[in-house]
């Protein structure tokens, strides 16, 4: 029996013990481990070879999901596989079992078939940590985990074995920023409904006497977290699913998923074919490979990496109620498990496996030899942080492997490529925490078309095809697992998978000092820094934006300079990453389609721009976009960057059948470079480069023209900036982009033109009270709640999606209202900043949360956008009125400290040296004090400029 301390410092004896163990596992070389290991390694090598020979026949090659003895399997399964099922679930792990169980609860049990290529719940018992915890980075993930934990408790109370024990989780901090992150979570917990407590180092020791307090600054205690046995939970889900009528067939592999007219139609298996309406890919490790079994291929971007769990022998007097402990800054975790300690962690750089894409089917074949070279830093941290480990005896180190998505988040939702094809994968090491919630929301989506949470941050439509590139996944997923335990700083960027999508302006912007961020693979400048912008060879340096603080960011002064240029001179910004679609038809069908999809009236004069939402049946925003009417039967749509895949899915799914063959929709995002020039001199600058009259009478605000600029033609120019400042966005065919940029930049020198990045334009729109989809707006936010009722035409001729819900909400009143808050007595130099998600208090009572926040360079204050609710004494929601909002005394809590705040309901007119009637007349939020009349389509609400004929709304 080997003690862990006998392995330190170089773990020589530990390596020897493992090489000679009965498990036959071979370790890598590290330092002076080599001595005395030769004979042991020979034994290990022969054992591994025999094991490989024994399992080789069961390994599927090159994505062919058909076992070699398919005919025999078919005979064995004769009569088990039905010819028809409403839903086919592929994958008998904990997620697939949860989906099956929840479908059964909805009465779909007898119409549901679950098939599993091996055995249900076949994962080995030592290949998971068993944490059922709430510590998640977003509200959506936390609520999914919360539901999962409550469900496990219910199953336990009903007598089903789950291994559940509510031991709590102790999360340790070793630095100031980590404690700030914990304080932010403690503040958010009020809104998120999570019970947690900030602890001193001594209190941490009281909760877990095993830890050392050396270097500990404090902790976060979550008492309602617990541990369970994922294997037992999976079987509990499956037992209940079977009771509810779900049919389960094991040792049956998927061969192909067939579709007809864009929808799932049939699945082909090794035991026969099954006609179905829905298919759910819950295959975990194989989700990406199963995605290749359909035409078109469903892209599920996942990559397998090594992941170790260390198990000790039984430890005498080990408290079974020892909490689950995470020492984030040491990158380790541990828990009590049946009298011994189970421990693990997340290395900074993960080790890839299955580079050739061949993934063994059986769980046993996926067990890799432990890699002590890779694990030794985590072991060192465990020995430092948990002194009892030094006397513990080693049982095993397992290398069980896990799969991660490129952004380290779960992957859920309907596949963009095929309707009624759902995916649930990428649950990392948190499968048991995610499984119950995922099962519920997928069942909701299948049976009802919607669910109780906004899922856009987890939706599979957040990806593009580039994210499924195997080499991209190899690079990115080396980094992604390490993010799991890192501090969640604002605007955090990945270092890998960069320089992938770039506008033609990229080299010029990089030379101009751009410091880049990435969105949907696009490199876009976040800000510009003229210091250290060249490398040792004098070439422009590629730099990635980093904030790495919760206080005043290092880029503050750079953004302040860019902001002032946009307000007082001219700023030039790259908007190329924005989503761009073209809609057109031969007849009036394109107008009919957009009138149905959009809540605003799109049948306006050619040359007009319409800002509109695409609502879902509940009135929430599926998309928030601008539409420019290029001609009678041709529109261009501009939407947020993250909508590039998502919008197309929504449009295709909701396009009426009679219009499908008549309306063309094309994603032209990569065809156009977008340059925004903004500032009081932008009209003068553009006038010097075009022959067209740009005066307000000829080219008013919120209109479109096609211009010649410089020597280029066919430039689509929109008289908007999405920030509230004067200016234009030029959509330029890529082959003209560098020419137009060069001409603009050269001609702008007399106005002291300056590059502006994303952070500067973001600051502008926050001060102007502009809402953005994905930050302020989501699928549960309606136009009436966010002050955009004037952009909804409830009585236009076409019954658009969401109209009934909005009419009902208008009658009943809104239950939350979008507001702007200006923080008083906040020192931006020393106080922690607002970064979104801060709780809002009215008269000392919690009423909402902030969404987008930032520093207002004109206000010289922290500016918060967010939603305010009205709760009665019993916690029930009441309608929110203007009087209610304006009559309260407000505070915003920032990492545990409350600051008084002034509330605004309308977009402000900021003081400026360059007043402009057009700019001051337009307000994005609550354009009019009395909006009731603006909910009407009647003709007296449409005014026409006598000189231009342009429709203004």
Spatial distance between the Cα atoms of 774 and 140, rounded to a whole number of angstroms: 13
Among 166, 168, 170, 167, residue whose Cα is nearest residue 218 = 170
CB count within 10 Å of CB 830 equals 8
For residue 341, how many C-alpha atoms fall within 13 Å in the half-sphere facing its CB?
30
What integer pLDDT is reported at residue 26 of this predicted model? Answer: 31
Please give the C-alpha separations between residue 742 and each of 8, 566, 568, 750, 821, in angstroms, as whole numbers: 62, 19, 22, 14, 40
527, 591, 593 from 662: Cα distances, Å: 43, 11, 10
Residue numbers in the chain where pLDDT is lower than 70: 1-79, 122-126, 357, 362-364, 429, 918-921, 927-953
Structural contact between residues 195 and 183, judged by C-beta atoms closer than 8 angstroms = no
The residues facing 864 across adjacent strands are: 821, 853
pLDDT at 7: 55
> Angle at Cα 366 formed by Cα 365 and Cα 370, nearest 5°?
110
The pLDDT value recorded for residue 176 is 97
Identify the CA nearest to 435 among candidates 131, 156, 189: 131
Mapped to the 3 state alphabet, what secondary structure does 942-953 carry? CEECCCCCCEEC
CATH class of 167-222+304-404: alpha beta
CA distance 540 to 534: 4
Q: Quick check: 610 and 626 in contact, CB under 8 A?
A: yes
Residue pair 547/489 in contact (Cβ under 8 Å)? The answer is yes
The CATH classification number of 579-762 equals 3.30.1360.120
Phi, psi at 825, each rounded to 5° = 60, 25
Phi/psi region, residue 397 (left: phi>0; alpha: psi -120 to 50; beta: rest), is beta
Domain boundaries, the chain: 84-124+231-301+407-462, 167-222+304-404, 505-546, 579-762
- The span from the CA of 716 to the CA of 587, in Å, is 23
The two three-digit tokens of residue 203, written as one number? 């209190």
- Confidence (pLDDT) at 78: 56
Stated as kind and residue range, the H or E segment containing 483 is helix 470-483
Q: Tokens 């948190």 — which residue? A: 430
- Among residues 777, 798, 772, the alpha carbon closest in space to that of 601 is found at 798
Quote the CATH superfamily of domain 84-124+231-301+407-462: FAD/NAD(P)-binding domain (3.50.50.60)
Q: What is the pLDDT of residue 367?
A: 74
Nearest-CA neighbor of 211 among 330, 376, 305? 330
Under 8 Å between Cβ of 251 and 77? yes
Please, what's the b/e burial string for 395-416 (b: 16 or more CB within 10 A of its CB; e: otherwise)?
bebbbbbbbbbbbbbbbbbbbb
pTM of the full predicted structure?
0.91
Residue 947 confidence (pLDDT): 36
């Amino acid at each position: 029996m080997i003690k862990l301390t006998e392995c330190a410092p170089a773990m020589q004896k530990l390596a020897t013990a493992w090489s000679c163990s009965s498990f036959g596992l071979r370790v890598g070389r590290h330092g002076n481990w080599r001595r005395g290991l030769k004979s042991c390694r020979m034994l290990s090598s022969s054992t591994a070879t025999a094991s490989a020979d024994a399992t080789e026949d069961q390994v599927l090659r090159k994505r062919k999901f058909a076992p070699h003895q398919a005919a025999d399997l078919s005979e064995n399964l004769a009569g088990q596989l039905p010819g028809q099922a409403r839903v086919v679930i592929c994958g008998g792990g904990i997620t697939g079992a949860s989906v099956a169980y929840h479908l059964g609860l909805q009465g779909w049990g007898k119409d549901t078939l679950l098939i599993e290529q091996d055995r249900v719940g076949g994962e080995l018992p030592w290949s998971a940590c068993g944490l059922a915890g709430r510590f998640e980075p977003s509200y959506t993930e936390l609520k999914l985990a919360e539901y999962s934990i409550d469900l496990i408790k219910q199953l336990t109370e009903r007598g089903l074995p789950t291994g559940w024990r509510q031991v709590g989780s102790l999360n340790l901090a070793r630095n100031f920023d980590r404690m700030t992150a914990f304080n932010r979570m403690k503040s958010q917990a009020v809104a998120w409904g999570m019970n947690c407590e900030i602890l001193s180092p001594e209190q941490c020791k009281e909760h877990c006497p095993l830890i050392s307090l050396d270097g500990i600054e404090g902790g976060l205690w979550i008492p309602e977290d617990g541990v369970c046995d994922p294997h037992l939970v999976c079987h509990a889900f499956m037992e209940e699913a079977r009771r509810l009528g779900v049919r389960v067939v094991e040792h049956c592999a998927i061969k192909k998923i067939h579709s007809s007219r864009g929808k799932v139609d049939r699945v082909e298996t090794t035991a026969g074919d099954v006609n179905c309406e829905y298919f759910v890919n819950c295959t975990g490790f194989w989700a990406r490979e199963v995605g290749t079994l359909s035409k078109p291929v469903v892209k599920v971007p996942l990559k397998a990496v090594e992941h170790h769990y260390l198990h000790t022998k039984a430890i005498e007097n080990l408290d079974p109620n020892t909490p689950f402990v995470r020492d984030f800054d040491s990158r380790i975790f541990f828990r009590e498990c049946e009298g011994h300690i189970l421990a693990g962690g997340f290395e900074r750089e993960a080790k890839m496996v299955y580079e050739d894409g061949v993934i063994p089917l059986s769980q046993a074949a996926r067990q890799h030899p432990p890699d002590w070279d890779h694990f030794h830093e985590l072991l060192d941290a465990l020995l430092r942080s948990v002194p009892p480990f030094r006397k513990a005896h080693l049982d095993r180190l397992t290398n069980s492997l896990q799969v991660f998505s490129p952004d380290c988040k779960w992957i859920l939702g309907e596949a963009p490529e095929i309707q009624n094809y759902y995916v649930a994968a990428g649950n990392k090491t948190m499968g048991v925490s995610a499984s119950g919630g995922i099962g519920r929301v997928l069942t909701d989506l299948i049976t009802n078309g919607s669910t109780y949470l906004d899922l856009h941050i987890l939706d599979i439509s957040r990806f593009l095809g580039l994210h499924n590139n195997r080499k991209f996944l190899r690079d990115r997923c080396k980094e992604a697992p390490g993010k799991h335990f890192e501090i969640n700083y604002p605007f955090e960027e990945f270092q890998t998978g960069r320089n992938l999508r770039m506008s033609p302006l990229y080299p010029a912007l990089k030379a101009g000092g751009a410091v880049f961020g990435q969105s949907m693979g696009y490199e876009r400048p976040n800000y510009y820094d003229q210091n250290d912008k060249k490398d040792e060879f004098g070439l422009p340096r590629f730099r990635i934006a980093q904030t790495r603080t919760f206080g005043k960011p290092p880029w503050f002064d750079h953004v302040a300079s860019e902001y002032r240029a946009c307000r007082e001179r001219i700023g030039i910004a790259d908007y190329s990453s924005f989503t761009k679609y073209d809609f057109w038809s031969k007849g009036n069908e394109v107008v009919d389609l957009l009138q149905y999809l959009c809540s605003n009236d799109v049948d306006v004069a050619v040359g007009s721009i319409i800002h509109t939402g695409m609502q879902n049946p509940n009135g929430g925003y599926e998309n928030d976009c601008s539409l420019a009417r290029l001609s009678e039967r041709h529109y261009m749509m501009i939407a947020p960057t993250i909508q590039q895949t998502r919008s197309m899915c929504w449009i295709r799914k909701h396009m009426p059948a009679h219009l499908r063959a008549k309306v063309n929709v094309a994603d032209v995002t990569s065809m156009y470079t977008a340059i925004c020039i903004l500032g009081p001199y932008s009209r003068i600058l553009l006038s010097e480069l075009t022959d067209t009259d740009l005066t307000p009478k000829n080219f008013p605000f919120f209109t479109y023209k096609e211009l010649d600029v410089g020597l280029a033609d066919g430039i689509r120019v929109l008289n908007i900036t999405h920030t509230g400042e004067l200016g234009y966005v030029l959509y330029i065919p890529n082959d003209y982009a560098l020419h137009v940029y060069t001409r603009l930049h050269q001609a702008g020198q007399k106005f002291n033109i300056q590059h502006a990045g994303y952070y500067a334009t973001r600051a502008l729109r926050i001060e102007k009270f502009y809402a953005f989809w994905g930050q302020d707006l989501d699928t549960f936010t309606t136009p009436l709640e966010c002050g955009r009722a004037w952009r909804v035409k409830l009585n236009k001729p076409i019954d658009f999606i969401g109209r009934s819900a909005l009419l009902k909400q208008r009658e009943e009143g809104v239950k939350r209202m979008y507001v702007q808050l200006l923080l008083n007595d906040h020192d931006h130099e020393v106080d922690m900043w607002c970064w979104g998600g801060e709780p809002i208090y009215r008269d000392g009572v919690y009423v909402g949360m902030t969404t987008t926040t930032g520093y207002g360079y004109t206000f010289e204050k922290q500016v918060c956008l967010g939603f305010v609710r009205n709760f009665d004494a019993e916690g029930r929601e009441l309608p929110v009125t203007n009087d209610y909002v304006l009559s309260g005394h407000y505070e915003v809590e920032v990492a545990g400290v409350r600051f008084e705040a002034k509330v605004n309901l309308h977009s402000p007119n900021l003081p400026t040296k360059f007043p402009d009637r057009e700019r001051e007349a337009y307000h994005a939020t609550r354009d009019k004090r009395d909006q009731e009349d603006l909910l009407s389509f009647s003709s007296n609400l449409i005014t026409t400029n006598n000189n231009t004929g342009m429709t203004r709304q």
